[in-house]
Amino acid sequence: MPRMSSKPADGATEKAELSAPQRALQRLGLVRAIDLALHLPLRYEDETQVTPIARAYPGEKVQVEGTVLESRVEQRGRRQFIAKIVDESDAELVLRFLNFYPSHQKTFAPGQRVRVRGEIRGGFLGREMVHPSFKAVVPGAPLPPSLTPVYPTTAQLPQPYLRKVIASSLARAPLQEVLPPQVIPEGLPSLRVAVETLHHPPPDVSLHELEAGSHPAAQRLKFEELLAQQLSQLASRAERALLRAPGIVPRSGGLHEKLLGVLPFGLTGAQRRVVDEIVADLAGPRPMHRLLQGDVGAGKTVVAALAAAVAMDAGWQCALMAPTEILAEQHFAKLVQWVQPLGIEVAWLSGSRKGKARAKALEQVASGAARLIVGTHAVIQEGVEFARLGLAIVDEQHRFGVQQRLALRRKLAIEGLEPHLLMMTATPIPRTLAMTYFADLDVSTIDELPPGRTPIVTRVFADTRRPDVVERIRDDIAAGRQVYWVCPLIEESEDAENAAAEFAGRAEPLTLQNVTDTHAALAAALPGVGVGLLHGRMKPADKAATMAQFKSGALPVLVATTVIEVGVDVPNASLMVIEHAERFGLAQLHQLRGRVGRGSAASVCVLLYAPPLSLVGKERLKAMAETTDGFEIARRDLQIRGPGEFMGARQSGDQLLRFADLEEDAPLLAHVRQVAPELLARAPGAASAHVERWLGGKLEWMKA
């Protein structure tokens, strides 16, 4: 066999030669020494002292040291490994492992000296520990001088390896001070001292302060992180101030005034106010970067249409992008109804539009014949060229990835100009969060619902009450109203006969009710009633046909996944049932609830859950039952999920805040907001170095 070269072959990458732990580090984004230095422990284990077994009591978590008396594998229902140790007090301790490997038997060979750490339990054979941490030691081996860190990790990245590489990186990480001393809050340690303390806290440190984040070392890192985030946003705003955009000024008697004249309703005061804010931005020489937020049904689409009318009247194109085809189609239908009579050509772009129809739409966009372009992410795909894109509108902006939003902003072909950007969301952003994450973004809020919206009553039931809910559906259908039933899954997991039996109350609830089972079960429970099925894996034509039937009233019941979360408007639907509501986020539940209450009939949202509920599940369902105010829902959602998930940080693969908490650390945040503008103005070099250390390659997506 020829000898293998130690050098990578042509075209091979270094990554292929990495060990499994090294690849795991890369997956976690732990590449630079500073990345590892800032990968802080989740918790700590106190291995600095040994407790005599005789003084270890049930319920305590302690470390003990002793000599192995015996060890064996037993078969008690399942295989388990049992070892018994004894220490100098002649007290014995049983160690029990339900999952074990050959290395366990080697470590716990009779006569071996071991240290084990875990919770003491009172077992049948006396004191015992189940699945303790352990290591072999020599008699008299020194104890660690500091608490032992336990790090966030992943598969193929064991704690001992992670501790070793982090300890090595700490010495090399650039943790020198880059900030002027007067900027740092009084009483906080240097950055290096703070980081080293958090990785290797001394035995006398308060574990509660460390794990609660109130220790000065933790406060220093929170301050650093908040400052980097604020500086990056202020820098983005300053950078945007240097960009140029089309100056779009509305004219008297223009298209937007004509649109107001043909609308079948008047604007609310809140809608008029936000339209004025947007129009003022469009008239400026810099790109608008505005978030339009409003509760479900607040009327954001008509505000977007009026903004588009101002842009189109000045000779510019407008593109509206929505995250799902159903929502995009809903916008398209409304906008065509409103603006086509005014002579505006509207183009439709989606992934399902192929062949000649797509080619024609692309030609209309490129030539400028289509002044309004509506679609899904297909709007930003290669091959879509705009003639004069002046305004880009992104609906449900948090559901798009950062790169998608950035791509839309780059679609203006005229050199030196950027389009104005209006982002919309029905997930209101709490004020504290908006001030923190959107320092470079202007926020408009529609805080008033149009008249005529009926209040929605929310009921929370265990899924054992499903037969009662089906009876309520019969009553609503008899009264001429329509019903949504939403499920979290598509694939069948149980047969339809089982599901039908469950609806009749003759079977235990399924582990997770899904959309195909539910559709079959409801059809069986409601003979003679049209029950439609809608989910994301259906062909677009089939989805459109089902939605058209439901809107027309031909289908009294629609069983669906969350594809109906946004954009579906059927005023006759007055009952929403959400299956396994505990598995949905608060924002999703609120959006789904907003599909009813759009007509004159009293509306009800039923949240079915499978007990037992987790603490988070209880909090979500309690919030839904107590309020229909989207802003209060958003505030509670932020409390439950934290800012990273609330802001859709997963779409970029990065956490927005790793250490700081916006509510708990409000005093730090206030200090940061005070010093950040001054630091940027007086010490731009220090500000830049600080942001680079903390955000590095994330700076681009912070602007999206």
| Residue 521 and residue 402 in one domain | no
* Kind and range of the H or E run holding 423: strand 420-425
Least confident range from 296-305, 316-325, 534-543, 564-573: namely 564-573
Tell me which residue of 201, 654, 46, 381 sits closest to 210, measured CA to CA: 201
Least confident range from 295-304, 327-336, 444-453: namely 444-453
pLDDT tens-place string over residues 188-224: 999 999 999 999 998 888 888 888 889 999 999 999 9
pLDDT at residue 447 is higher than 60? yes
* Kind and range of the H or E run holding 374: strand 372-375
Q: Which pLDDT band, with edges at 50, 70 and 90, does 360 fall under?
A: very high
pLDDT at residue 491 is higher than 50? no
- Cα separation, 96 vs 94, in Å, equals 7
For β-strands 92-97 and 126-130, DSSP reports them as parallel
Last residue of a domain, one of 446, 477, 499: 446
Supply the pLDDT for residue 686.
93
DSSP secondary structure of 649-683: GGGGTS-S-SS--TTTTHHHHHHHHHHHHHHHHH-
Amino acid identity, residue 315?
A: G
Summarize the confidence of residues 313-325 as an average pLDDT: 90
* Kind and range of the H or E run holding 76: strand 61-76
Tell me which residue of 246, 239, 244, 303 sits closest to 271, measured CA to CA: 303
| Residue 436 and residue 470 in one domain | no
Higher-pLDDT residue of 510, 141: 141
Q: Do the beta carbons of residue 447 and residue 594 sit within 8 Å?
A: no
pLDDT tens-place string over residues 568-606: 778 899 999 999 998 888 888 988 898 888 877 889 999
Higher-pLDDT residue of 599, 472: 472
| Residue 234 and residue 308 in one domain | no
Supply the pLDDT for residue 80.
93
Judge whether 679 lies within some domain.
yes
Residue holding tokens 């090399």?
172
| Residue 414 and residue 277 in one domain | yes
DSSP state of 53: G
Burial of 204 (0-12, 13-18, 19+ CB in 10 A): exposed
Of the ranges 25-39, 271-285, 560-574, 605-619, which is most confident?
271-285
pLDDT at residue 160 is higher than 50? yes
Judge whether 249 lies within some domain.
no
Supply the pLDDT for residue 36.
93
Mean residue pLDDT across the chain = 83
Judge whether 493 lies within some domain.
yes
pLDDT at residue 396 is higher than 80? no
| Residue 511 and residue 609 in one domain | yes
Last residue of a domain, one of 414, 446, 478: 446
- Could you tell me the two tokens for 352? 């399902």
Supply the pLDDT for residue 632.
84
- Could you tell me the two tokens for 388? 């004069």
Last residue of a domain, one of 102, 117, 144: 144
User: Which residues contact residue 49 at a Cβ distance below 8 angstroms, ignoring those fewer than 6 apart?
Assistant: 63, 143, 203
User: Which residues contact residue 330 at a Cβ distance below 8 angstroms, ignoring those fewer than 6 apart?
Assistant: 567, 568, 569
Summarize the confidence of residues 397-414 as an average pLDDT: 59
Considering all CA atoms of the chain, what is the largest pairwise distance in Å, rounded to the nearest integer? Answer: 97
Number of helices (H), then strands (E), belonging to the chain: the values are 25, 22
Prior bond to 612 cis, omega within 30? yes
Supply the pLDDT for residue 2.
38
Q: Do the beta carbons of residue 424 and residue 565 sit within 8 Å?
A: no
- Cα separation, 317 vs 314, in Å, equals 9
| Residue 463 and residue 591 in one domain | yes
Supply the pLDDT for residue 202.
86
For β-strands 372-375 and 317-321, DSSP reports them as parallel
Which three-class secondary structure state does DSSP give residue 175? coil
Supply the pLDDT for residue 1.
36
Q: Which pLDDT band, with edges at 50, 70 and 90, does 449 fall under?
A: confident
User: Which residues contact residue 688 at a Cβ distance below 8 angstroms, ignoring those fewer than 6 apart?
Assistant: none
Cα 253–chain centre separation: 44
Q: For residues 322-335, b (16+ Cβ closer than 10 Å) or e, as one string? A: bbbbbbbbbbbebb
Judge whether 287 lies within some domain.
yes
pLDDT at residue 700 is higher than 70? no
pLDDT at residue 494 is higher than 50? no
pLDDT at residue 507 is higher than 50? no
Helices (H), 87-190: 102-107, 159-172
| Residue 91 and residue 108 in one domain | yes
pLDDT at residue 9 is higher than 80? no
Torsion of CA 440, 441, 442, 443, to 10 degrees: -140
Least confident range from 83-92, 279-288, 317-326, 689-698: namely 689-698
- Cα separation, 352 vs 361, in Å, equals 13
Residues in the chain: 704
Q: Check which CATH number belongs to the domain holding 563 and give it.
A: 3.40.50.300
- Cα separation, 451 vs 631, in Å, equals 19
Least confident range from 513-517, 532-536, 576-580: namely 513-517
Q: Which pLDDT band, with edges at 50, 70 and 90, does 115 fall under?
A: very high
Higher-pLDDT residue of 451, 476: 476
Tell me the Cα Rg of the chain: 31
Supply the pLDDT for residue 439.
56
Domain span at residue 75?
A: 49-144
Which three-class secondary structure state does DSSP give residue 287? coil
Q: Give the up-direction half-sphere exposure of residue 207: CA atoms within 13 A in the CB hemisphere.
A: 12
- Cα separation, 161 vs 154, in Å, equals 12
Higher-pLDDT residue of 18, 391: 391
* Kind and range of the H or E run holding 560: strand 557-560
Distance linking the first and last C-alpha atoms of the chain: 54
| Residue 23 and residue 67 in one domain | no
Judge whether 646 lies within some domain.
no
Of the ranges 269-278, 416-425, 434-443, 544-553, which is most confident?
269-278
Supply the pLDDT for residue 397.
58
- Could you tell me the two tokens for 380? 């930003």
| Residue 29 and residue 117 in one domain | no
Judge whether 164 lies within some domain.
yes
Summarize the confidence of residues 437-442 as an average pLDDT: 65
* Number of domains the chain is built from: 5
- At residue 11, what are phi and psi to the nearest 5 degrees? 85, -10
- pTM given for the model: 0.66
Summarize the confidence of residues 20-45 as an average pLDDT: 89
Least confident range from 190-199, 252-261, 403-412, 493-502: namely 493-502
* Kind and range of the H or E run holding 613: none
Judge whether 637 lies within some domain.
no
List Cα–Cα distances, 373 to 91, 354, 493, in angstroms: 79, 16, 41
Least confident range from 144-153, 161-170, 560-569, 694-703: namely 694-703
Q: Which pLDDT band, with edges at 50, 70 and 90, does 440 fall under?
A: low
In percent, the amount of the chain with pLDDT more than 70 equals: 85
Q: Which pLDDT band, with edges at 50, 70 and 90, does 640 fall under?
A: confident
Q: For residues 216-250, b (16+ Cβ closer than 10 Å) or e, as one string? A: ebbbbbbbbbbbbbbbbbbbbbeebeeeebbebeb
pLDDT at residue 349 is higher than 70? yes
Q: Check which CATH number belongs to the domain holding 93 and give it.
A: 2.40.50.140
- Cα separation, 667 vs 223, in Å, equals 10
- Among left, alpha and beta (phi > 0; psi -120 to 50; other), residue 220 is alpha
User: Which residues contact residue 161 at a Cβ distance below 8 angstroms, ignoring those fewer than 6 apart?
Assistant: 21
pLDDT at residue 96 is higher than 90? yes
| Residue 476 and residue 390 in one domain | no
- At residue 96, what are phi and psi to the nearest 5 degrees? -125, 130
Summarize the confidence of residues 53-79 as an average pLDDT: 91
- In 120-211 the beta strands, taken as DSSP E runs, fall at 121-123, 126-130, 133-136, 148-150
- Cα separation, 637 vs 176, in Å, equals 38
pLDDT at residue 171 is higher than 50? yes
- Cα separation, 274 vs 335, in Å, equals 19
* Kind and range of the H or E run holding 549: helix 540-552
DSSP secondary structure of 178-207: -S-GGGSPTTPPPHHHHHHHHHS--TTS-H
| Residue 287 and residue 418 in one domain | yes
| Residue 539 and residue 607 in one domain | yes
Supply the pLDDT for residue 223.
95
Judge whether 540 lies within some domain.
yes
Supply the pLDDT for residue 39.
92
